Amino acid sequence: MKRTCIAVLVLAVVLCLGAGAAMAADTVKIGYLAALTGDWAAYGQTEANTAQLAVEEINAQGGLLGKQVELVVYDFRTRAEDAVNAVRRLAEEDKVVGIVGANGSGINIATAPLVNRYGIPQIGTVSTNPLVTVDQKGKVRPFSFRVCFTDPYQGKLIAYFSAIELKRMNAAILYDVGSDYSQGLREFFMKSYGEYGGKMVADLGFRGGQDVDFRAQLTEIRDKKADVLILPNMGKEMALIMKQARELGMDDIIFVGGDGYAEFMWEIAGDAMENSYWINHVSPEDPAMAPFFASYKAKYNDECKEFVNGILGYDGMYLMFDAIKRAGKADPKLIAKALSETKDLQLHHAVITFDEFHNPLDKDGIIIVAKDGHGQFYMKIKPE
């Protein structure tokens, strides 16, 4: 019994080794880092799906440079040390020409020195921390890019919208102490909000993952008479916060959130979602995105409820395709050069021009308003 078990294990290991080494046809290989397990699995799985969709579409059109495109997806179970070895493997074993992902700034910052040493371009999907594309001395990392806007910019957008468009000057913020994304947004929001003349009446934290009950903080926010509540968090937490706030009878406060918005929040928060505003990269109603949603639905029989991750992963792939085409050769260094020269590229969700720090230049902020059971396009903003 014991020995059979061991034999089976050994066999499985050998098979896996073999499977990994056997594939080496003439294709253009693109790597994708996605959190398929762990806390971000919902987002990572959607990204992996949309990336696969993008690859199938490009292959149906004849691929790139006359070759088929092959996608290599690796999980990093939300851990940086695992992601680092995934990148090494992508670079050395799979010999990819570019990497798309990961969906988390911490992971991108940890893999950045590595991709820059290998000279393989990496495009972060929703990695909004400034340090993803520049090092701590402010020098640009030549092989690191992102398709989303950055924390300082998003923080400014939220502040601008709350103070100037909504004219709400007494803000409370409820952020996730354990999340770099949330902390970053909070920092930059508070800075810009002050500049627009707003006043912070409450600045409270919680711990994502474990905390699911926010009534203590909400009670305090209610007592401090805040008129707008800023939510720089992930979808699940924001939905719970809104639901619990309405349960506590906070009917007048307006919720303004960041790009963590996802359609599944409606299932959780229900009516509490109504009339909340979300600063985002993309609107699900955008007619340009309709074909994407249709083909996603056809392939996976699913609504792509984590659409922000999904679309940014999808367009991250198209950004890479475009750079490969312009490079004219499957050479990572040329592709990185082509990427940094990206100008007025029409992707599905936006037009991308990279600035000197490899951040998309002045992307419009899309405001989504939650109304009648789904997110609707409200306005585009571009603060001066």
Partner 1 sequence: MDTFLQQTINGLSLGSVYALIAVGYSLVYSILLFSNFAHGGFLVIGGYICYFALKSMGVSIWVAGFLSLLGAGFSAVLTERLAYKPIRERTNVTLYLLIASMGMSIVIENIFVIVVGGRFRALPPVIPTHPVHLFGLATTSAFDILSLLAAVFFLGALQLFLIKTKWGLAIRAAAYDLKTAGLMGVNVNLLISIVFFVAGFLAAVGGIFLSVRYTLYPQLGMITIKAFVAAVIGGLGSLPGAVVGSLILGLAEMLTAGFISSQLRDIVVFSLLIITLLIRPQGLFGKNISEKV
Partner 2 sequence: MSGYTEGIIILLCINAIAAMGVSLLTGFTGIFSLGHAAYMAVGAYTTAILTVEYGVHYIPAILLGGAMAMIVAYVIGVPTLKLMGDYYAIASIGLGETIRLILENWQSLTRGARGYPGIEGYTTLYVSLGFFAVMAFGMFNLIHSRFGRAFKSCRDDYIAASLLGFNTARYRVLSLVLSAFYCGVSGALLGGFLSFIQPIMFDMIKSTELTSVVVFGGLGSMSGTLIGAAVITLVTELFRPISQYRMLIYGAVLVIIMVLRPEGIMGQYELGPRFFRMLKNRFTKESSEKEGEPS
Q: Which residues bind partner 2 (CB under 8 A)?
A: 1-2, 5, 9, 13, 16-17, 19-20, 36-38, 73-75, 77, 79-82, 84-86, 88-89, 91-93, 106, 109-110, 113, 118, 129, 131, 135-137, 176-180, 182-184, 207
Q: How far apart are CA 352 and CA 134, in angstroms?
A: 19
The answer to whether 375 and 257 are in contact (CB under 8 A) is: no
Which of residues 188 and 278 has its CB atom nearest to partner 2 in the complex? Answer: 188
**Which residues neighbour 309 within 8 Å (Cβ) at sequence distance 6 or greater?**
43, 44, 46, 47, 103, 125, 126
Site for partner 1 in 192-221 (CB under 8 A): 204-207, 209-213, 215-217, 219-220
Q: How far is CA 138 from CA 121, 133, 134, 135, 226, in A?
A: 19, 9, 6, 5, 36
73's contact among partner 1, partner 2, none, with CB below 5 to 8 A by partner kind, is: partner 2
Which of residues 176 and 315 has its CB atom nearest to partner 2 in the complex? Answer: 176
Which of residues 238 and 282 has its CB atom nearest to partner 1 in the complex? Answer: 238
Contact flag: residue 36 with partner 1 (CB under 8 A): yes
Residue 329 has φ and ψ, to the nearest 5°, of -155, 145
Least Å from the CB of residue 177 to partner 1: 5
**How many chain residues bind partner 1 (CB under 8 A)?**
41
Alpha helices in the chain (DSSP H): 2-22, 41-60, 80-92, 105-118, 151-160, 180-195, 215-223, 235-247, 265-269, 290-300, 307-327, 332-340
74's contact among partner 1, partner 2, none, with CB below 5 to 8 A by partner kind, is: partner 2
Q: How far apart are CA 121 and CA 101, in angstroms?
A: 11
Which of residues 38 and 113 has its CB atom nearest to partner 1 in the complex? Answer: 38
Contact flag: residue 45 with partner 1 (CB under 8 A): yes
What six digits make up the tokens of 55?
């690859």
Least Å from the CB of residue 142 to partner 1: 34
22's contact among partner 1, partner 2, none, with CB below 5 to 8 A by partner kind, is: none
341's contact among partner 2, partner 1, none, with CB below 5 to 8 A by partner kind, is: none
Which of residues 186 and 363 has its CB atom nearest to partner 1 in the complex? Answer: 186
Length of the chain: 384
Which of residues 1 and 60 has its CB atom nearest to partner 2 in the complex? Answer: 1
Binding mask 233-272 for partner 1 (x = CB under 8 A): --xx--xx--x--xxxx--------------x--xx-x--
Which of residues 169 and 204 has its CB atom nearest to partner 1 in the complex? Answer: 204
Least Å from the CB of residue 74 to partner 2: 6
Query: Dihedral of CA 93/96/102/106: which sign?
Result: positive
Peptide bond before residue 112 is cis, with ω within 30 degrees of 0: no
**Which residues neighbour 213 within 8 Å (Cβ) at sequence distance 6 or greater?**
244
**CA dihedral of 291, 305, 104, 270, whole degrees rounded to 10:** 140
Which of residues 81 and 267 has its CB atom nearest to partner 1 in the complex? Answer: 267
Instruction: Provide the 3-class DSSP secondary structure of residue 220.
Output: helix
Question: Burial of 36 by CB count in 10 Å (0-12 exposed, 13-18 middle, 19+ buried)?
Answer: middle
131's contact among partner 2, partner 1, none, with CB below 5 to 8 A by partner kind, is: partner 2
Contact flag: residue 370 with partner 1 (CB under 8 A): no
Binding site for partner 1 (CB under 8 A): 36-45, 177, 204-207, 209-213, 215-217, 219-220, 223, 235-236, 239-240, 243, 246-249, 264, 267-268, 270, 305-306
